[in-house]
Amino acid sequence: MNYTFSSNQQVNNTLNLVVKRITDMAEDQIRHIQQLTRIGQALSSETDLDKIFEMILDEGIAFTKADAATIYKVSDDARSLEFELVYNAKLNMRQGGTNDPIRWNPVPLYDDAGNRVMSHIVSAVYHNKHSLCFDDVYQAKEYDISGTLKSDHNNNYRCKAMLTIPLKDHEDTVLGVIQFINPLDDDGQITVFSPEHKTMLSSLSSQAAIALSNRKLIAGLEDLLMQFMRSIAGAIEKKSKYSSDHITRVALLTDMIAAKINSSESGPFADIHFSEDQLKEISMAGWMHDIGKIITPEFVMDKSCKLERIMDGFALVQARASNIKTLLKYMQIKLDTDDFESFVQDKLGCKDKDPYAFMDEAIDFIRELNIGGEFVPDPVIARMEALAAIDFEYEGLHYYLLDETDRKNLSIRRGTLNPEEIKIMRAHVSVTWDMLSQLSFPKKYNQVAFYAATHHEALNGKGYPQGLDAPKLPLQSRMIAIADIFEALTSADRPYKKAKTLSESLTIMAFMVKDGHLDADLVDFFLDSGLYLDFARDRMNPSQIDKVDIAAIKSKYHLA
């Protein structure tokens, strides 16, 4: 648009040209301010650092018309500068960030003796924490530019003007370095970096430093959270006198299942892909699934046999049997044969059998029954009840073999815990929910509490503590449930059960699928993917790893 400033056309044209240039400059400034604003907004909302760096790099290139630029990040061990983004318009190169990864070796910050490397421009900027600007980097004789010269020669390129700026956080710690090369004028010729360029690029560098600092802070907090969770899990496992490492193994297996699902290209999980945040959320839930056991008494967690209490209940039974045998010896001397036999039959229920052998057999029977098993049949319970009936007084002393607590514990049909102890043990899941649901997890991890607290739920609604059924149990909960059950079945260091073989464990899981407890698709995947064998080879005793007939196991729940 032309304006009329004068009747003199030459003057009018000159003034219009000035107006146009001023307008173009103003529009450029407005565009840069808008871009800086967008970058600032991105710093508070964008979680992908690569995208933020690309925005910063692109804006710096647009403002200076720089032909090339690089962003370096300080390595985790603070020993080198790693290439984060590399751009060169003339060489048609753009690597790093959301593009192809950079394969170049990092720039060392220290030598083998631990001395600071000051010979490279970027390492000097890192150590001195000040920018370096060269109108012609080939004249920077005090620095080793052999790498630049070699690269230029190989690529028929001329690196001339260079501006290198440290990325410093609020504590003046250098987190990285940003470098721009060869600003161009309007004619496309290499010029030098102006004071305006330096001011603008310093502002961009500050924003890049904020992005890096935020990522390090967030990563540090997440690392601290995971370390805290693992520390708590380790403390819970140390409550037990048996080194089971159950939580560690369940967390490991849960991670393995999630990773294997992510790599699945066929079957029911082919379209499922957990993001990095979801993988972390699943892992956290795996580590925290038994946090509620922090309130479970040790005598319940470690109850290795039915009669075990705070003390060894079986030793008490043996002592009582010894007292009865001592009384028998006394009565055998005191009474004639008929009266002694009558006494034995009346008090012990022992007929036509040597009473001492009867007592020894009773102790052997109780010793075996004291060990937790898969199922105790009715005749065994009946014999135990008959022994519990031995209860009499003689000359003011009370003689008995089993008290009411012993009788109740020896009546346990499966395992070593009685109903009251099972209730105490199961309470850990509710406590897990109570503890984790009160924590303010980041939004992306807000399901940790639910996944961790539902690993004892069942698809048929018969699990605990809430009795949730299949529609309310997401895949993540089902994964932890399978990991928890498989680890418990295959564990060889539980005091209350004999170590099961791989095939025995998987067969039990198959029946759990049949009963509607476990997810059939997930158990199929667990078998077909070979996950069960990967975990077994890594964590099970070789003696437990037997041959597994997958087809036979699946036939338990895939009924024709």
Q: What is the pLDDT of residue 26?
A: 58
Q: How many domains does the chain have?
A: 3
> Is residue 283 domain-shared with residue 326, that is, in the same domain?
no
| pLDDT at 258 (0 to 100) | 97
What is the rounded distance in angstroms from the CA atom of residue 371 to the CA atom of residue 230? 33
Same domain, 405 and 436: no
On whether residue 458 sits in a domain, the answer given is yes
- Burial pattern 499-531, b for ≥16 Cβ within 10 A else e, equals bbbbbbbbbbbbebbeebbbbbebbbbbbebeb
pLDDT at res. 329: 93
Give dist(CA 136, CA 190) in Å, integer: 10
Task: State residue 275's pLDDT score.
Answer: 94
Structure tokens at 285: 């839930």
User: Considering the domain boundaries, does residue 375 fall inside one?
Assistant: yes
Measure the CA–CA gap between 460 and 246, rounded to whole angstroms: 25
Residue 26, domain member (yes or no): no
CATH number for 91: 3.30.450.40
Give the per-residue pLDDT at 372. Answer: 78
Confirm whether 119 is domain-assigned: yes
Cis peptide before 465 (omega within 30 of 0): yes
Residues 142 and 257 in one domain: no
Same domain, 59 and 206: yes
Q: pTM here?
A: 0.68
Residue 91 shares a structural domain with residue 202: yes
Give the three-state DSSP class for 161: coil
Domain boundary among 348, 382, 410: 410
Neighbours of 221 (CB within 10 A): 11
d(CA 225, CA 227): 5
**Among all chains, which residue has been given the structure tokens 């079986």?**
314
The verdict on 425 and 545 lying in the same domain is yes
First CA to last CA distance, the chain:
83
Per the domain annotation, does 546 fall within a domain?
Answer: yes
pLDDT of residue 19: 61
Within-domain flag for 15: no
503 and 525 inside one domain: yes
* C-alpha–C-alpha distance, residues 555 and 519, integer Å: 15
pLDDT score recorded for residue 229: 86
Q: Does residue 460 belong to any structural domain of this protein?
A: yes
Same domain, 77 and 96: yes
389 and 334 in a single domain? The answer is: yes
Whole-number Å distance between alpha carbons of 70 and 191: 19
> Tens of pLDDT along the chain (560 residues)?
666 666 667 767 776 676 666 666 656 655 655 555 565 555 555 556 677 778 778 888 888 899 999 999 899 899 999 999 999 999 998 998 877 888 889 999 999 999 999 999 999 999 999 999 999 999 998 999 998 999 899 999 999 999 999 988 878 888 889 999 999 988 889 999 988 888 888 877 877 777 777 777 777 778 888 888 888 888 888 877 665 688 999 999 999 999 999 999 999 999 999 999 999 999 999 999 999 998 888 888 878 788 887 777 899 999 999 999 999 999 999 989 889 999 999 999 888 889 999 999 999 999 999 987 778 899 999 999 999 999 999 989 999 999 999 999 999 888 888 889 889 889 999 999 999 999 888 889 999 999 999 999 999 999 999 999 999 999 999 999 999 999 989 987 666 667 789 999 999 999 999 999 999 999 999 999 999 999 999 988 899 999 999 999 999 999 86
Instruction: Considering only the C-alpha atoms of the chain, give the largest distance between any 2 of them, rounded to a whole number of Å.
Output: 151
At 478, which CATH number? 1.10.3210.10
Domain of residue 482, residue span = 239-297+419-554
Give me the pLDDT at residue 119, please.
Answer: 92
What are the residues facing 110 on neighbouring strands? 116
* Tokens 């300080």 sit on residue: 74
* pLDDT at 4 (0 to 100): 67
- Residue 16's Cβ-count burial label (10 Å; 0-12, 13-18, 19+) is middle
Same domain, 77 and 119: yes
Tokens representing residue 496 in the block: 């209350």
Q: Looking at the structure, tell me whether residues 425 and 282 fall in a common domain.
A: yes
pLDDT value of residue 45? 54
Out of 410, 432, 457, a domain closes at 410
20 within some domain: no
CA nearest 56: which of 167, 204, 185, 180? 204
At 273-303, the pLDDT tens digits run 999 999 999 999 999 999 999 888 888 887 8
In terms of domains, do 325 and 380 share one? yes
